[in-house]
Amino acid sequence: MLEVNMFGSNGIHDAAGKGNIELLKKLVAEHPEDVEVRMRHGYTPLAIAVQDGVVESAVVLLDAGADVNTRVDKIEQPLLHLAVSRWRLRPDGAMIQLLIDRGANLELKDNHGDTPFEIARYMYEFPPELLELLK
């Protein structure tokens, strides 16, 4: 198991968020047990990649078995909800499309009872073509 810092993150979290793909691949290969390690606030490495819009990191982590339907933070937000809320980082929809392609549950609700579609339809300037993906 990799050493964690005071926030509970390890090298996999850091490499995922920064998009350091070569390091991420190396760490995942050497420490596959750390792919689902959660930081103090509940974020997995995949959640960090989604939050930061780093699709390439998300691909590596999903290939390594990261759970596409995991919930993060205190409000237990599903990853697809996180990708929707951070769509401006990837306005091309690549992160949302990746999560859907990898099996993200479109009907999964957050702790307020909303699906990703229900959140997106009320977001200012949310692209209609991305909204269609969430139906």
Does residue 6 lie in a domain region? Answer: no
Instruction: For residue 68, count CB atoms less than 10 angstroms from its CB and return exposed for 0-12, middle for 13-18, buried for 19 or more.
Output: buried
Residue 120 belongs to a domain: yes
Cβ contact 33:70 at 8 Å: no
pLDDT tens track for 85-107 = 999 999 999 999 999 999 999 99
The verdict on residue 5 lying in a domain is no
Answer yes or no: is 31 within a domain: yes
Q: Any idea what DSSP says for residue 77?
A: E
What's the domain range around 40?
A: 11-133
Assigned domain for 22 exists: yes
What are the tens digits of pLDDT across the range 50-75?
999 999 999 999 999 999 999 998 78
> Which of 97-109 are b and which e, b meaning 16 or more Cβ less than 10 Å from the residue's Cβ?
bbbbebebeeeee
Domain-located, residue 3: no
Percent of the chain clearing pLDDT 70 (strictly above): 96
Residue 22 has pLDDT above 90, yes or no: yes
Q: Are 21 and 14 in contact (CB under 8 A)?
A: no
Write down the pLDDT at residue 28: 98
Number of domains in the chain: 1
In a domain, 116, yes or no: yes
CATH code of 117's domain: 1.25.40.20
